[in-house]
Amino acid sequence: MSRIDKLFADLRRQKRKALMPFVTAGDPDLAFTGDVIRELDAKGCSLCEVGIPYSDPIADGPVIQASYTRALSPKNPAHKVKLRAILDMLRGVSSQVKMPLVTMVSYAIVLRYGLAKYVADAQAAGACGAIVPDLLVEEADELARICRAADFSLIQLVTPTTPRERAVRIARASTGFLYYVSVTGITGERTELPPTLVDNVAWLQTQTDLPICIGFGISQPAHVKLLAPVADGLIVGSAIVRRVAEAATQPRDAVRTGVGNYAASLLAALAGERGASAP
């Protein structure tokens, strides 16, 4: 049983849901990324997605795209992050936090690095899995085989426009959890979520035993209260990345505290849904 499998087994037994923040590695630098991960863990988040900056983002909205651009900017070579440096940062942080860490990474990066080498090195750095948003299920067999052999979760995405037969195929090819994209389009904070979202996720739950975690657009306690009854976890990205970006102009301690307090407000909403205090 992988750490992610154990996490969701424990949460289900406790009748709890996961809050899963996303952070961009290297924005504004890797030291602060580590600080933010530790802060989110201390507040009680369940799992953290660490975005590997990529020059050609797949479905990322302007907030996350901008964070990738800052992390990769050649204007400040000290901040131009490399994959090996990111893995070194994860190696240091993973031993200091309770929550599992997974990488959000383009398949182009994994392929260029080497499939088996990426899995081995990410796992050695303390990562428990990878979300590969541009990996088609038809092309996932080799990476899936390597991941299963290493007990390293390969998390894949289902979107609102994915045909149901294909959604079932993706679920069968995934391990750890299934990432359900809440909206058609790109990442970003939204005031409203699609009215069909709850029904779509409820149907998918009848097709797989995998935990289903919802991402894209979630930014408010109201979203958490709406989706907590049907989801195993809720993924929050742009709202956190936007707050981290304030480190460019604000004191870092204040920014880190602000990110933690924002996560705490979402955790309180989750706790309210189960009638208990926040973890």
**Of 104, 53, 117, which is closest to residue 83 (Cα–Cα)?**
53
Catalytic residues: 49, 60
Q: Which residue has tokens 């948003």?
A: 133
Residue 225: CA count within 13 A, CB half-sphere: 9
